[in-house]
Structures are given as structure tokens and as C-alpha cells.
Amino acid sequence: MRYLPLSEADRVSMLDKIGVGSIDDLFIDVPQPARRSGTVDLPVYTGELEVEAQLQAFAAQNVSPAKVPFFVGAGAYRHHIPATVDHIIQRSEFLTSYTPYQPEIAQGTLQVLFEFQTQVARLTGMPVANASLYDGSTAAAEGVLMATRVTKRSKAVLSGGLHPHYRETVETLAHAVGITTEACDLAIDDEAEVLNHIDADTACVVVQTPNVFGTATDLTQIAAAAQAAGALLIVVVTEVMSLGLLKSPGEMGADVVAVEGQSIGVPLSFGGPYVGLFAVKEKYLRQMPGRLCGETVDADGERGFVLTLSTREQHIRRDKATSNICTNSGLCALAFSIHMSLLGQEGLKRVARINYAKAHALRDRLAAVPGVEVVTPRFFNEFTVKLPKAAAGVVEALAAQGVLGGVPVSRLGVAPEFDNHLIVATTETVSDRDMDAFVQALKAVL
Amino acid sequence: MGDMKMNTVGRPSAPDFDVEATSFHTLLGGRGLLQSEKLIFEWDDYHRTGVDFADIAIDTSDLDGLVRGDDLNLPGLTEPECVRHYVRLSQKNHAIDLALYPLGSCTMKHNPRLNEKMARIAGLGDIHPLQPVSTVQGALALMDSLAHWLKTLTGMPAVALSPKAGAHGELCGLLTIKAAHEARGQGHRRTVLVPTSAHGTNPATAAFVGYTVKEVAQTADGRVDVADLASKLGSDVAAIMVTNPNTCGLFERDILEISRLTHEAGAYFYCDGANFNAIVGRVRPGDLGVDAMHINLHKTFSTPHGGGGPGAGPVVLSAALAPFAPRPWVVSAGDGFVIEEHGEADSAANFGRMCAFHGQMGMYIRALTYMLSHGADGLKKVAEDAVLNANYIKASLSDLMSVPFPDGPCMHEALFDDSWLEGTGVTTLDFAKAMIDEGFHPMTMYFPLVVHGAMLIEPTETESRAEMDRFIAVLRALAGAARNGDVARFKGAPYLAPAKRLDETRAARQPRLIFS
């Protein structure tokens, strides 16, 4: 067996050293009724060649986005990832190390986390950031929990532009801990509605920009209203690339920012693992969930980095911890940080402008298709169209024509008034020919 | 931390240990080939980039003033600079690929590279979670296959795949239990019983979802005190959370009695599956009466730890809990699969959603690759060799280092305490840090909390006899040095790591979390 180095001779002599006669003697504490003879009913040991073929067979039943015109987004986006990123994250020292609890032999990971936190803070326009959470949706949920700790209030207002899967994730966690949520009806551009829900019990307002329909929103007013009422504004961003062009949440007055970082450095991978970016105002630093990396010095006075403020965390505080989080998304944070440092501000701004330009070019072309109405007023790289028939059927028909044409709103939850709405994303990976194919196929299936 | 500076007057007794040599300073501050590497924010020029995109002009009049005005202040590196920066940083890390990595409870086993290759193939690594279902039938089949393996190996009828890590799995398990109690008119049950030896995530998770945590005592032989458990079980108890094998590295001999008493009291048995690697293929948690158990794919099934994640924590469920699991579900429908993403179509029982999409697909691919490679017989061997290696280390060190629970075999990890260090002036922390100078990562220290100065060693099954003998030789030599009064070797350790001991107090007192 290729992953097991012990030989039979090793096993025999080791049992001898231990002073037992057989391997079964090491399992004597297992109660008799739970002992099993033989193996469980599953296939047996298989060589690398055959396993590879089995996995390829699964892959062959999927349509790879690289092979078709591809416009699917709604919270996860196909972007080009430089080859360097995947090469570096596969280095043994990053891939196969544990959480950096022994800082003397983990300065590589720790410096990366310090740089990551700084990148996230600058990108979101916030003073501090943590070392990552699982993904954007759980980051949003942790933001709500944090807001209730800070304000000692227990109501969260959720905007109608929040991705419905994010809304459900937030509701699940919030309700489990006794927080009430008021979710506004799904809405393309109605952030003013959230103002009506803010009152003296409100711990936080959760608003997404660009929202699930792609609408970019000025949150300045909501920030002011929330803060005037003693509540926190939590800004959710599911397309981090948008921060290369759009006003940052910090600039608009956010107290907490929860971002899905997948677009920078992390492959789509059918929904995970991704990386949650989490940034807050300085005064909430000690209320933040998740790991934090901080600068310090070593015994020689040299700069070094450690995980810090761990008295907030479960392994120290146990039942009094700020959250139960242990593992975070370290390797995805590394991928994000490498890609971000390759982009730099110049690269990020350029790729953001290209996304914007392509999406707007597609908007103009789809708007010219009879029966198609573009309903998103202001957007970055994603917008929503209203079709003359149910979007779910159109998407399947497009797929049959070899075009993956977006996400029907109905895929995200039941909302009959949006059955004909289709969310369309356009990134730098989309070519003019892809757009031609989309427009032609759409005309054919409508 | 002033006492961390070496006193070079009181020379240590070991002839081969020279404090002065360890404090040699290079002219530029590096350590030989280990370069001192500045932060990317300390580069002078922020206007370069390592990607080639055209600098196009766009009309942003649609955006109503939402265009970003501030300078992002984010440096860019060209590819050669970027590669060198991260490779230099990587060399300051220790890793399982470099040596036995004895972190008890963390399961630092070899990460097969086939797993990495498979997670990246076209059609698996690059597919979108919201593509039309007809275009991801292979992905759903893969998830179904992973679920089948997990259910069969655990003897449990259902599994919720989506939790993103072990602690997220615990949360999922407890929310499932909470939903089940509420549906059955038992919502008044507000207490969760947790043994004193539990992982910190157990009480943290229970308290997080609003339960009152009560601790259960431990017996002198390192197991759950069944009498104490029985006295605390009652109509207020929602669940017990027991790790098995437990965090002392021992199998809970009374596990069947524990589950019987729990069920009799109307509570559910949550098992922390962090140590499933010790019994996989040999013992099925379903046969032990478990109702819910998370499985850390990054422990038992070898997905990489990645410097702190991402993990994956699917939760297997008993028939009693299965109806209450969170969305989404992969469902076999005729000749294909569908994914149930919305509650409305399902029973109203399930409690919601753990995350936006379908969980850690990248980890599912790796874990399934690992399972297919080993097969039922190979996985059984995994558990056996893991247990054999741990007992071998225990047997090879127990004459020098004290074992708190000496009777009978341990499972996949060997636990020592610090009573053998008494009077030496060396602490568990010092001893562990000195291991770094000898080329090994420290073992888990001061956990479990129930043992004084605990040292928890988990070699895993992927260590060769030769590597274990090398490790044992190092620990024996260090133990000898500690007993012989060679305190200087330990007190400032590590001397030879990329950094000396770091001032953690300072980091916490004046938090500096970003570069400015």
C-alpha cells in the first residue's frame, strides 16, 4: 500500500516491543458487540492509475466552464487565476503545515496572514481585518453575531438585495442563538426599504453591494441612519473584484464588512472551499471572530508575527468564546494574497474596468434581443434581465445549446414574481465570440 | 520575556551545546539561506503589476458617483518578485513533508498528491455551484459517492456534507439535535454534558447555540465517569458531546453504557469525530449508539491542513436525526441526481443552511480520492498502523517520560504528563520548544486540560519505522538532557529556528494587525 510505510516485519517487531501478540490486542477496549470481523462493505485497495480514471469519469459528466460560453455568477465568479498562485500554494511548507501555533517555525504562514489582513483592510477601506473565515456567507452571519455582542440588541435587518443563500445562512445562525431577523422582500434596487426597519432594537443592518441582482448601491445614507439608531452597518460583498472600481464599504461608512474573496485566487470548485474576508472598525477589534495575526518581536528583537488575542477563542475560552471557530480558510487566504499581490492596485483596477466594460457591452446586446428587459440600474460585472418566460427553463435550453447563460433567480429560492429573471455575470474570461453565442442561443430559445 | 536572552556565563553542561554559536548574527540579519524577507508593503513602488491586462478607459456615468476615489494603496509584484517572496516565506515554515509532525489530536498525516491533482482537473475544480443541474451530474454523483463511503464507514444512515470545518460540523450537529428536540416537543432541554477532557470547540459550540454546558468528571483511568454522567442526565439534557477515542488517546470502554443511558434520558449522543482516524474501517460509530458525529476530512481523510484550513466537517446522522439535517441535499432521481436547495419543497423540519453553496467540494474530491485509493482494507490498515505507531512511541518512551494512564493500550496518540520533569527546571513548553532545534514540530502541549503539563503525541500511520526511531532517539536524548540539568538548552529554545521565541504578550497588549 503506497501510503503506508510499515512492512509486515516492522509490524511484528513493533508489537513485540509493545508487548502484545497481535494488532487486535491494541483494540481490546472496543466493546465486544462493536468489534467487527473483516472489512466494511466497500471496494478494496486501488492503484493510482485506476483511481485517476474513476475521478476522470466523474469529471466527464460535468460541463467545464472553460469549454463553453459562460455567464454564471450570483455569488461565485469565474476569473483568470495566474499560474503562480496554484504553484505556490502547493509548496509543501504551505500546503502541509498546521495552524501556526508554534510561531518560531511558522513565520512563513504568519507573515502571509499579516500581509493578507493588510490587503483586506485596504481593499475594503477598513482599519482592521482578521485572518479569514470559511466564506462570505458565514462571514456575514458572524458579522450579525458580532453586532449583537457589541450593541447588546437582538434584531438584525436584512436587505432585500442580500443573496437569498446568504440570507438563509444568516437566519440559520441568528435564529439558533436567539437573534430575530427582519428580512426585506427580495428587491432589485430598494435599499431605502431597509430604513423603514431600523429602530431602537436594531443591532445591525445587512446590505449587499453589488446586490444579488448586480445593483451597485450607495450605502452612505443607510450607514448614517443605522449609526444614528445605535446599530451597525454590515456590508456584504460577494464579488470582491468590484472593489477595484466601486467605492469601498469603508468609504461609505460600514462598521463591518463581510466579503466572499473567491474571485481573487480561488477556483470555483463547485462552491468551496472559498475564503471569507472580514474587516471592522478599530473599536470592534476585540469583538471580532476568527484568528488574528499580529506583529511582535522575538527574543533577539527581530520583527516576527504570532496569532494573537486568542483569549477570544474557543481553545482558551471554551464556553465563553466569541465564536466556536477553530479552522479557518488559511490556504485560500494564501491564494487570495498571492493573486492580490500579483494584481496590485494597478492590475486590480484594470481587470475591474475590463469586467465592467464587458458586462456593459453584453447588456447592450441583450437589451436589443426582443422580449429581453434589463432591470439592473447600476452594476459592475453582473446584471439581471427579465425574460418573456420562466428563466429556469431558458437556462436549461441554453445549456442544451452549449451556453451556460446565468443563474435564474428561482434557483436561489422561491419568489414567483422573479420567475422570469435571469442573473448574468460577465468577467474578463468572456470573449466577444462568447457573447455572440449567448445572444444567438437566447434568440433561438426565447 | 527578558529572561529569554541567553545567559552565556553559565555554560550548559552538554558538551555539544554552544549557546554562543546559536546567537551568531549575520551582517544583514538573515540566517544563512533563510532570507530576511520584507513585507510587500515595504516595496517602494506600488504601481507595478504581475498581470497583463489592457489599461482601458470606461464610461462610468451609469454608476452615479459610486466610483472608487481613494488610492487602494495595494502593492503589485512582478512574477519573479512574487515567486521569490512567497518561496522565501515558505522556507520559514515547518511541514509534515519535512518530518514527523506529532501534534496530538490534529492528525498530521501525509497528504497524497493524487488528491491535489484530482481536485484540479477540468470538470471538477472549475465548475460553478449554480450551473444548471444537468451540467454537473458528475459532481452530484461524486458527492453521493462520498456520502456512501462516509455512511458505510460509520454505519450511519445519513450525512450532511456542507459544514466547512470540524467546529462548523459540531454546530451543524447541535442545530440538528435542537431542531429534533423542538419538533418532538422537547425544546425545554437546555443542557449539554461535556467531559472535562473535551476539545474547546465542544463547550464553545454548545454555549454558542444557547445551551448550558455542564462538565462530566473523568475517572482515574482517563475515561468518562459513567456514574457522574448518569447523575447529571435528566429531562433537561439535550445531548452529550463525547470524543471517542477521547482526547487522552483512549477508547471509551463504557461507550455502549454511555449511549444507552443517554438515550434512556431522552438525550442525543453527539460524538466528536476528530479521532475517527484511530478506528476507521474497524469500528462503526453507528454500532456505538452515536446519533451525530462530524468527520474532519482534513484529519482522517488526509486533506491538507494548509496552514490552518480550509477543512471540511461532514456530519453523519442517525435515523432519528436525519430528517432535521440542513439544506442542501443531493437526491438520486431516476437516472440522475438533483440537489434539493430549498426548504419549501422539503419537510419543514430541517433547520436551514450552513453556508451559501454545497460545502467544501474541493475537499470532497480529495477525501474520496483517498478513500478509493485505500479501499475498505486499506482504511482498516490506516487505523491499525496509526494505533500501532502510537503504542510503539509510548512503549519506547515510557521508561523516561511519565504516562498518566499507563494501563492498557492507547489508540492513535500517546499521552504523557510533566511529572517526570519535576525538579528539572524544564517545563512542557521548554521541552517542546527544544524539539524544534532537533528538527521536529512540538507535540500538542497542555491539552487535554485534565492532565498536568500534557504532551500529546500523534505520529499517524504514514510514519516509517525509521522516522519514528529518529523521533524517539531525539526525545530520549532531550529527556536525558533535561534530567541531567542541561536547562539552558531548553530555556531559550528554539535557538536554530527561523525565529527565536516570540513575545506573545506584547502582540496582545498592543495589537498591530495590519501594516501602517
Q: Does a structural domain hold residue B19?
A: no
**CATH number of B164's domain:** 3.40.640.10
Q: Which of residues 461-480 of B touch A (CB under 8 A)?
A: 461-465, 467
Q: Is the dihedral of CA B398, B404, B408, B409 positive or negative?
A: negative
Q: Half-sphere exposure of residue A348, counting CA atoms within 13 Å on the CB side?
A: 34
Q: Does a structural domain hold residue B104?
A: no
Do B432 and B493 sit in the same domain of this protein? yes
Please tell me the predicted confidence (pLDDT) of residue B73.
96
Structure-block grid coordinates of residue A141 = 452571519
Q: Which residues of B touch A4 (CB under 8 A)?
A: 378, 381-382, 385, 461-462
* Residue in A305, A335, A103 with CA at minimum distance from that of residue B309: A335
Q: Which of B308, B342, B371 is the last residue of a domain?
A: B371
Which tops the pLDDT comparison, A378 or B23?
A: A378
Do B206 and B330 sit in the same domain of this protein? yes
Please tell me the predicted confidence (pLDDT) of residue A192.
83
- Give the tens place of pLDDT for each residue, B37-55: 999 999 989 999 999 999 9
Q: What crossing angle do the helices spanning B361-397 and A48-60 adopt, rounded to 10°?
A: 150
* Residue in A346, A70, A352, A134 with CA at minimum distance from that of residue A239: A352
Q: Is the dihedral of CA A59, A65, A69, A72 positive or negative?
A: positive
Do B476 and B403 sit in the same domain of this protein? yes
Confidence of residue B35 (pLDDT cuts 50, 70, 90): confident
* Rounded Cα distance, B189 and B471, in Å: 48
Do B315 and B451 sit in the same domain of this protein? no
Q: Half-sphere exposure of residue B511, counting CA atoms within 13 Å on the CB side?
A: 21
Interface check for B10 against chain A (CB to CB < 8 A): the answer is: no
| Residue B477 structural domain | 378-509
Q: Do residues A157 and A151 touch, judged by C-beta distance below 8 A?
A: no
Is it the case that residue A228 has pLDDT exceeding 50? Answer: yes
Do B336 and B483 sit in the same domain of this protein? no
- Chain A to chain B Cβ contacts (< 8 Å): 709
Q: Does a structural domain hold residue B62?
A: no
**CATH number of B387's domain:** 3.90.1150.10
Q: Which residues of B touch A28 (CB under 8 A)?
A: 408-409
Q: Which of B327, B349, B371 is the last residue of a domain?
A: B371
* Contact across the interface for A23 and B384, Cβ inside 8 Å: yes
Q: Which residues of B touch A169 (CB under 8 A)?
A: 352-356
Can you tell me whether residue B414 is helix, strand or coil?
Answer: strand
Cα radius of gyration rounded to whole Å, chain A: 25
Do B47 and B196 sit in the same domain of this protein? no
* Rounded Cα distance, B37 and B81, in Å: 11
Q: Which of B320, B345, B371 is the last residue of a domain?
A: B371
Is it the case that residue A208 has pLDDT exceeding 90? Answer: yes
Q: What is the mean pLDDT of residues B168-187?
A: 95
Q: Give first-to-last CA distance, chain A, whole Å.
A: 56
Q: Does a structural domain hold residue B316?
A: yes
Interface check for B419 against chain A (CB to CB < 8 A): the answer is: no
What DSSP character marks residue B278?
A: G
Do B265 and B180 sit in the same domain of this protein? yes
Interface check for B220 against chain A (CB to CB < 8 A): the answer is: no
Name which of A125, A298, A378 is nearest B501 (Cβ-Cβ). A298
Q: Which residues of A touch B60 (CB under 8 A)?
A: 245, 356
Is it the case that residue B498 has pLDDT exceeding 60? Answer: yes
Do B132 and B212 sit in the same domain of this protein? yes
Name which of A89, A98, A118 is nearest B514 (Cβ-Cβ). A118
Q: What is the mean pLDDT of residues A230-253?
A: 98
Q: For all residues of chain B together, what is the average pLDDT? A: 92
* Residue in B451, B461, B376 with CA at minimum distance from that of residue B413: B461
Q: What is the mean pLDDT of residues B185-206?
A: 92
Is it the case that residue B21 has pLDDT exceeding 90? Answer: no
Do B367 and B384 sit in the same domain of this protein? no
- Using the structure block, give the residue that is written with the C-alpha cell 482526547: B247
**Amino acid sitting at position B364:** Y
Do B326 and B389 sit in the same domain of this protein? no
Q: Half-sphere exposure of residue B239, counting CA atoms within 13 Å on the CB side?
A: 33
Q: What is the mean pLDDT of residues B365-378?
A: 98
Is it the case that residue A244 has pLDDT exceeding 70? Answer: yes
Phi, psi of B377 (to 5 degrees): -70, -40
Confidence of residue B359 (pLDDT cuts 50, 70, 90): very high
What DSSP character marks residue B126?
A: T
- Give the tens place of pLDDT for each residue, A264-280: 999 999 999 999 999 99
Please tell me the predicted confidence (pLDDT) of residue B16.
58
Please tell me the predicted confidence (pLDDT) of residue A61.
98
* Residue in A248, A247, A201, A192 with CA at minimum distance from that of residue A224: A192
- Give the tens place of pLDDT for each residue, A377-393: 999 999 999 999 999 99
Beta strands in B136-187 (DSSP E): 158-160
* Rounded Cα distance, A425 and A358, in Å: 10
Q: Do residues A329 and A262 touch, judged by C-beta distance below 8 A?
A: no
CA angle B75, A132, A110 (to 5 degrees): 65
- Judge if pTM exceeds 0.80: yes
- Give the tens place of pLDDT for each residue, A121-157: 999 999 999 999 999 999 999 999 999 999 999 999 9
Q: Do residues B158 and B316 touch, judged by C-beta distance below 8 A?
A: yes
Q: Which of residues 39-78 of B touch A (CB under 8 A)?
A: 39-41, 46-51, 53-58, 60, 62-77
Q: Does a structural domain hold residue B392?
A: yes
Q: Do residues A138 and A132 touch, judged by C-beta distance below 8 A?
A: no
Name which of B204, B208, B464 is nearest A5 (Cβ-Cβ). B464
Which residues does A152 contact at the CB level (< 8 Å), separation at least 6? none
DSSP A106-152: BHHHHHHHHHHHHHHHHHHT-SEE-S-BS-HHHHHHHHHHHHHHHH-
Do B430 and B402 sit in the same domain of this protein? yes
Do B301 and B352 sit in the same domain of this protein? yes
User: Looking at the 3D structure of chain B, how many domains does it have?
Assistant: 3
Distance from CA of B75 to the nearest CA of A (A): 5
Q: Does a structural domain hold residue B390?
A: yes
* Contact across the interface for B130 and A72, Cβ inside 8 Å: yes
Q: Give first-to-last CA distance, chain B, whole Å.
A: 25
Interface test with A, best of B131, B372, B398 (most A CBs within 10 A): B131
Q: Does a structural domain hold residue B105?
A: no
Distance from CA of A199 to the nearest CA of B (A): 25
Q: Does a structural domain hold residue B420?
A: yes
- Give the tens place of pLDDT for each residue, A13-37: 999 999 999 999 999 999 999 998 8
* Contact across the interface for A176 and B206, Cβ inside 8 Å: no
Q: What is the strand order of the sheet B212-216 is part of?
A: B158-160, B315-317, B292-294, B268-272, B237-243, B191-195, B212-216
Confidence of residue A312 (pLDDT cuts 50, 70, 90): low
* Rounded Cα distance, B514 and B417, in Å: 38
